[in-house]
Each structure stands twice: as C-alpha cells, then as structure tokens.
Amino acid sequence: MANKLIDIVNISKSFGDNLVLDNLNLYIRQNEFLTLLGPSGCGKTTLLRILGGFESADHGEIIFEGKNINSLAPNKRKLNTVFQKYALFTHMTIAENIAFGLKIKGKTSSYISDKIKYALKLVNLDGFENRMPDSLSGGQQQRVAIARAIVNEPKVLLLDEPLGALDLKLRQDMQYELIRLKNELGITFVYVTHDQEEALTMSDTIVVMNQGYIQQIGTPEDIYNEPQNAFVADFIGESNILSALMVEDKLVKILGVDFPCVDIGFGKNRPVDAVIRPEDVELVTPDKGILQGIVSHLIFKGVHYEMEVEANNFTWLVHSTDMFPVGTNVGIYVDPYNIQIMKKPKTEDAEAVGVEE
C-alpha cells in the first residue's frame, strides 16, 4: 500500500520468561487514527514503547517511511508521545513545558512564542502560559501534554492511555477534542487504550490485542458487528456468546433450536460460536418467539432497560427500550442478520488466547 507510514514486521518482545509480543505484524497508514485495544498486559503499551524507542524489540523490524528505525534513539524519531501520567516537567511553567522540544531544535524565540500561543489555543488553554503544572486539573494537564507533543509537528503522535486518569465527563469531552485535533492537524495518531467505548468512538482502525497476539483488525463497525472470535466479541461491548452447531448454510442450531441466519461456508454440522448483541435480542409475545423464556432480572439504565431472560438453560442478556417485568413469559426472536457466527478455536493454544478474558 502506498501510504503505509509505519510497518511493523515480525516484532517479538519478552521480559524475562514473559513473552509480551509474539511475531506481530501491523502497518499504520498516513493520517490514520489507529487504536491498540486490549486488556492490561496484552502488549499494547509495549508495542507503543517500541515505536517510541523506549524499548527495543527482540526480533523484527520497525519501518518508518521506508527506513528501518530499530536502533534510532527516541530523541531522533519523528514521533512524539503523550504519556499516561502526562509526564509534565513540574518545575517548569506551562510555556516552558511546551517550548521544551522547540528550544532543543533551536527555533527562534518569536517562532516559539507563536507556537505556544497556537498550541494553547488549540487545546483551549489560552492564557495558561505562566501557570505551573501542579496548579492545573488533570484534564488541563493532559491537554498541556498534548500541546507539548504537537508543537513539534511530529509525523505520528503516540498516545498511551492519555484519558485513563480522567473522570467520565472529562473523558468524553477529551475524546471529541482529540478527534477535532487529529482532523485539524492531519497527523497520524496511534492510540493505546483498554476502553472499548473510547476505541469505538475515535478510531479509524482498531487493533484488538490479547496476550501478545492481534485478534482482529478493522473499522469500529467491523469489530463491533463482525467479531472474528469469542474474545473480540466479549471484549467489545456486551454480547451473548453461545456454543452452536452450524447445521447447514444459513441455518444454525442454538440451544437445541434452529435459528435462520445469513452466514455461509462453515460446512455442515460444524460446532461454531454464535454471537448475539443484547440490543439485537427482540422480546416478543411467547408465541411469536423462536425461543420461550422468563424475565429473571430487570435494571433501568437510562437509555434502555437491561434484562436477563432465562431460556433453555441460558441466561440471555437483553437491552430493550420496552420493559417486561420480572416473571413475564416472553418469546425471543433474533433477526437472521444479527446472528454472528464464528469458528471455534481449533487448537488449545488458540483457545487459551481467545477465551482467557
């Protein structure tokens, strides 16, 4: 692909006996907002640190704009990092923090002060030049950290769980802010998070990782609607994951009941996993359902009701704007388009990878 900016080839890394990245391949395109998503310990931060130059890979290559940068020192790389804990220089003012990289590059002082103004405006912190980092809130500090990184006009901005320490409201605000920044600046973002909602909101591409392996790469819609294995399905959003039997093309047997679906090519009478998102489970009168069950649990969640329905020895998670009181007999119906069929992991190793979380 012509616009590959970074190519990560066969990267492996272990700390002691602990294999963190196993022969990982990934490319990052120009101007892309790519998110590395996974539970803690999945190797996403290590991958980011290898990109930043703070760790070196045991095997493999990092190709940046066509050149191998494996042995390039962090201060020589054309990318900047926004750290998890902001890592502001506490003994410098905000202006001094932002000017840090520019001064090293030997920019003129008028250029630097223009840049400081521009960057602070960009992150909505006009007039904060002479404040000290400790006097700022977490969100403000984070925006300073971003400003400090972007004034250097990096090709790529690496962000390591930058919103992790913020409260929910602030986090949502910052998400929009980051998207806006990315669009205004036109630089590539590589974003690390364990928060699937954050990933879905902001990314062009999501890379789901677990235990050093990439589980799935795709757009947020792909990842959400077409999880390729149980791990991804479970990790992204909430889902009902059921062991099922693919009877034939477009027909799957779930909990002993035949469900029409749209998937083909799995063969006949093959064990598979079926994923059904809770909002795709439609509750109808018992006679109209494919399956019959009893509502056992009910919580009001604001946008919708969350219910649990006991049917054929399985507890179905259901999101619905309609409310059915506990004890109601209901029918369960799923649109064939909303059943996602996945292959069962073949080997035990792959299973371990998939089912761990």
CB of 149 to another protein, least distance (A): 8
If binding is defined by CB under 8 A, does position 120 make contact with another protein?
no
Return the residue of 90, 183, 243, 329 that touches another protein, per CB under 8 A: 90
- Contact between 74 and another protein by CB under 8 A: the answer reads yes
Restricting to residues 34-53, which ones interact with another protein according to CB under 8 A?
52-53
Q: Does 80 bind another protein (CB under 8 A)?
A: yes
Q: Is 75 a binder of another protein (CB under 8 A)?
A: yes
The residue within the footprint of another protein, chosen from 135, 183, 269, 315 (CB under 8 A), is 135
Q: Does 293 participate in binding another protein (rule CB under 8 A)? A: no
The answer to whether residue 131 forms part of the interface with another protein (CB under 8 A) is yes
User: Whose CA is closest to 339, among 229, 220, 222, 259?
Assistant: 259
Please pick, from the candidates 149, 232, 246, 330, the single residue that binds another protein as defined by CB under 8 A.
Answer: 149
SS3 state of residue 197:
helix
Nearest by Cα to 219 from 355, 32, 2, 7: 32
In this structure, the chain runs to a length of: 357
Residue number, 95 or 200, with CB nearest to another protein: 95
- How many Å apart are CA 52 and CA 157, to the nearest integer? 10
CA nearest to 55, candidates 70, 75, 36, 76: 70
Q: According to CB under 8 A, which one of 14, 31, 93, 172 is a site residue for another protein?
A: 93
105-110: Cβ within 8 A, 24+ apart: 105/152
324 binds another protein (CB under 8 A): no
| Local structure of residue 288 (DSSP, 8 states) | G
Q: Does residue 194 touch another protein according to CB under 8 A?
A: no
Report 100-119 residues binding another protein (CB under 8 A).
100-101, 104-105
Cα-flanking dihedrals φ and ψ of residue 233, to 5°? -60, -40
Question: Which region, judged by CB under 8 A, interacts with another protein, from 70-78, 264-272, 310-318, 331-339?
Answer: 70-78
- Give the β-pairing of 33-37 and 59-64: unpaired
**Rounded CA Rg of the chain:** 24
Burial of residue 328, with CB atoms counted within 10 A of its CB: 0-12 exposed, 13-18 middle, 19 or more buried: middle
Candidates 97-105, 195-203, 271-279, 325-333; binding stretch for another protein (CB under 8 A): 97-105
Name the site residues for another protein (rule: CB under 8 A): 52-54, 73-76, 80-81, 83-85, 87-91, 93, 100-101, 104-105, 130-132, 134-135, 145, 148-149, 152
